[in-house]
Chains A and B, each alone.
Chain A
Amino acid sequence: MTSFSADERQLLDESLQNFLSEKYGFERWQQRSGPSGDQYGSNEWRQFADLGWLGVAIPEEFGGTGGGLTELAIVMAAAGRHMVLEGLLGTVVLGAGAIELAGTQAQKGDLLPKIAAGELRLAFCHSEQDAGYARDYVTTIARPVDGGYALEGRKAFTLGAQAADLLVVSARVGAADGPVGLFLVPRETDGVSLNIAPALDARLGAEVRLSARVPGSTLLGRADVDRTASIDHLIDRAAIAVCAEACGAMAEATQNTIEYLKVREQFGQPLAKFQVLQHRLVDMSLACEEARAIVHAALEALDVGAASAQRTVWQAKVQTAQSARFVGTQSLQLHGGIGMTDELKAGHLYKRLCVCEAMFGDADWYLKKLSQTLPEHIRARTQDDRMKPPEVA
């Protein structure tokens, strides 16, 4: 449950918008986003911490301000709007989340305050090459050895892994059918190698190969607890955080397109005067509103721990992916040639939206999950159902 009032949320949002529009402008973004640019600006990161964004969802006893997922979503939406390059998701949503869910009291006391203070950056290296979006597919193994574990495996491309201090690595403890544990592996460990690459939206990340020995203290919590359910929950939280990010990016893309069509003249009038383009802008705005509304519903469902929360998250990811695609492609289309250049925010927002659409599962994947778990009242009746005696009210 969150401890933020509406006023406090408003203040948080204002601090984000003020700082990011002043200090995180597009020109600076362009300088920093190249492959050799300083994408994980240590300066920026410290300021994010000072402004209280990094500890927003960390409990007060561990140096945070005790907000919930809704507060994180406010941060992520601003990050989407301004295309923040740093790994907020990996550190604040997934990294801190993993420690909170699986860590011992001592681990929480040691690590969470450092995250809130901007001293520790994390990346969540769970997915594997052959996993795709499946959340329970783990083949990396952690074999107990003297004083710790030998980690063997390969983790799929993870944004921000190249700059993280600690990688949160999932691995089966003991054997291929062992419980899934979460390990905090320092990136600089011998036997951890990274293949760094840019994502579509220019943010860097890395594929991670592990053939490393780590001390027992790197395991979060106890060795005999299977973390599959926690990971599932964490990915739901991350998925909705990415939806919030997409909501920010699509609102920005829509607003920029509206502004552009008001000033771009062809045929002796602003393009915004053409009714067919007005309708397109209306549909883009509606797509933004729809995504925002269902993401909001999912955030509140998660924050109060509603039984239907997971379904709502999945529904929100589907809608957000569809909205993102419509808004992204139409924003490019309506900008014409200028939208196809690297010089305008439109193209970069499009690419960011493509990444958001894919992360943690696209619309097709969630629709499949939803169709496999339809609640009884909306399911088509099967042969078995028809054999059942009618229910008596």
Chain B
Amino acid sequence: MFIRSVGSDNRLNAFREEVRQFCREKIPAEIRRKQEKSQHLDKAEYDAWLKLLGEKGWLTGKWPKEYGGLGWEPEQFLVFEEELGKAGAPPLINFGINLAGPVIFTFGNDEQKKKYLADIAKNNTWWCQGYSEPGAGSDLASLKSRAVRDGDHYVVNGQKTWTSWAHWADMIFVLVRTDATVKKQAGISFLLIDMNTPGITVRPIIGITRHHHLNEVFFDNVRVPVENRIGEENQGWTYAKFLLANERLHSLSFAKFEAYLAKIRKALDVVKDGGRPLSEDPTYRRKLAELDVRMATAKALMADQLAAARTTGSPPMMGAAALKLRGTELQQSILQMGLEVLGRNGPVYQDLALEQNWDGEFVGPDVSAGLIYEHLYRRAATIYSGSNEVQRNIIAKGALGL
């Protein structure tokens, strides 16, 4: 206990300043304006911003240098993300950078690296994640979409669901069953599929936010070149798990939490009870203090786990699952407080105010639509990236050996 140093690294101060300046100068005014109003960005706006980061090389800062990355330590990425958050930059939605890329450079062949990595790094391609199916959620390995070999192609049939941003994607990575006769984990392959291939249909799913970002993706005799398979046939589960571990780590973003808190503080000044702003009420000060303690603890846990990973070389099993659990619980508590503050205002949810051309009038604080949208959306944080029940199972089995 208390052996390794977990202190912050002052060498990153210059980098921090550089990111700040970049954000000050480069975030397009229109995007900044929309971010302030929590309005949805369209794909072109995300692209424009991510491309700027891509040109700078920062999008793939974490990737190893040999694959066009900058070889950042996790600490440097945290600084990067924190500064983006503070500057009001759009979130880094990127299934290519965080999920597909690392699988490709770790398990892909040279052809695949050449074909995909540069486009991911420059944000020329949008990726989406075709893991979940209607019958395969927590029990992902029971997936039924199948790929049958036909010469130098696979013919893919089946359905994926809850596919975030599939309607914007150029590429999808999917898990498919290539052998139904063996143990379920042993018959899965990992394919990269061009979303423009004939036979793919994307249907929108409207969320409880009343907004569209989820989809169903149907595959009807979709022909996929065998060269689009990652690694070995039937070894897909190994790559899938590698990717899931990365995904878990990325589900935690302190920058986002700080942004929520900034909005909540704004609301506390505006919303009143008996004529006095809630910011004066000890109840809410105490809540802020409690969230602050939890945030400090989560950051310390993160630093501690990263330090452990540095010495042992791999992220500890407990680490990613623990951070996912506590991070998402904290996220929901912060957004719960947001809703509590806005409760005095109905709570009204003017979801249309999040659309670009809304010219209505706010009822109550202008931060409310954005905060409530996040409150609703992030009820899913304890479900996606492996539900929190599943994370507890992982810790129970993997770390505690139960």
Contact = CB atoms under 8 A, between A and B. Distances in A.
Interface stretch (B81-89, B131-139, B319-327): B131-139
Tell me the dominant secondary structure on chain B's binding face. mixed
Given A157-B364, A266-B137, A132 B382 contact: no
Interface size class of B (residues with CB under 8 A): 35 or more
Nearest to A203: B346
A354 interface: yes
Contacts of B272: 129-132
B346 A355 contact: yes
Contact of A137 (B142, B271, B275, B352): B275
B372 interface: yes
B348 to A, nearest CB: 5
Nearest to B208: A347
A341 B273 contact: no
Interface string B328-355: 0000100010011001111111111000
Tell me the dominant secondary structure on chain A's binding face. mixed
B210 interface: yes
A197 B207 CA distance: 19
Interface in B246-283: 271-275, 278, 283
Interface stretch (A60-68, A166-174, A360-368): A360-368
Contacts of B142: 266-268
B260 to A, nearest CB: 17
B111 interface: no
Nearest to A207: B363
A350 interface: yes
A268 to B, nearest CB: 8
B345 A156 contact: yes
Interface stretch (A76-84, A96-104, A179-187, A329-337): A329-337
Contacts of A368: 283
B137 A337 contact: yes
Given A131-B273, A364-B283, A205 B348 contact: yes
A113 B37 CA distance: 48
Contact of B208 (A136, A198, A342): A342
Given A131-B275, A197-B350, A266-B137, A341 B340 contact: no
A104 B345 CA distance: 33
B38 interface: no
A195 B345 CA distance: 13
Nearest to A348: B208
Contacts of B234: none
B346 A157 contact: yes
B379 A329 contact: yes
B206 A354 contact: no
Given A157-B364, A341-B206, A132 B273 contact: yes
B206 A200 contact: no
Interface core residue of A35, A333, A336, A340 (most chain B CB under 10 Å) = A340
Interface of A: 35, 129-134, 136-137, 156-157, 159, 195, 197-200, 205, 207, 265-268, 276-277, 325, 329, 332-333, 336-337, 339-343, 347-348, 350-351, 354-355, 357-358, 362, 364-365, 368
26 contacts: A131-B274, A133-B344, A137-B275, A157-B346, A157-B364, A195-B363, A197-B350, A198-B351, A200-B346, A266-B137, A267-B138, A267-B139, A325-B336, A333-B382, A333-B383, A333-B387, A336-B383, A337-B380, A337-B384, A339-B383, A341-B214, A342-B206, A342-B207, A358-B343, A358-B344, A364-B340
Interface of B: 132, 135-139, 142, 161-162, 205-208, 210, 214, 271-275, 278, 283, 332, 336, 339-340, 343-352, 360-361, 363-364, 372, 376, 379-380, 382-384, 387-389, 392
